[in-house]
Amino acid sequence: MSITANEYMPTQEELTVKEIEVSGPVLKAGAMHLGKRCEYQNNEFVLCRNETGDPRACIKEGKEVTNCAMNFFKDIKKSCYGEFMQYVNCLDKSSTNQAFSPCRKTQGVFDKCMQDNLNMERPPHDYFARTHIHKTNRPKPVPEPKPEYPDRNPYLPEDAELPPAKYGSRYIWMW
């Protein structure tokens, strides 16, 4: 991809954000609660990316997603660390593919701790497959108008003989 000097490129300081340094089993163990807690921020980020088509326009929303996830894991560390780590260790060591089925008891203990201490109920199994309406305060971006290319030179008379296309037809026909 080539750019010109007129293109805005974010600085390194704008792009730098503290990373969440956790392993796969930690993310898998907290995924349902994390997805529910950071749902609004995730939806804002995805909506921004889909509407603008430009990742540079969504840096602020991406930082909010990371910040929400960071705060989520900090809250778990403060209030449910022991139960969470038991669940993580069970996922990590009970099967080769980190299956949930051998760890339902430790999951129940972790879910009860999340309910009691953080007032977060585990969402139903199909929650993220359901249709949700996302309400945002961000205005919808105005799309740039697409340039129109005329089919022929307007200065040619209507009865002028047209030479064949140099590279073939612009239409692709499937036979």
Residues with Cβ within 8 Å of residue 41, at least 6 apart in sequence: 61, 64, 65, 67, 68
Range among 6-20, 91-105, 141-155 rated most confident: 91-105
Between 26-35, 53-62, 143-152, the lowest mean confidence (pLDDT) is in 143-152
Q: For residues 16 and 72, which has the higher predicted lDDT (pLDDT)?
A: 72
The two tokens of residue 48 are 């921004």
Tens of pLDDT along 110-156?
A: 999 999 999 999 999 899 999 999 999 888 888 778 887 766 677 77
Percent over 90 (pLDDT), the chain? 57
Question: Looking at residues 12-24, what average pLDDT do you find?
Answer: 88
pLDDT for the residue 151: 67
Cα separations (Å) of 22 from 43, 144, 162? Answer: 22, 40, 65
Q: How far apart are CA 18 and CA 161, in angstroms?
A: 65
pLDDT band at 166 (very low <50, low <70, confident <90, very high): confident
Task: Give the pLDDT score at 90.
Answer: 95
Average pLDDT of span 55-81: 94
Q: Assign 84 a pLDDT band (cuts: 50, 70, 90).
A: very high
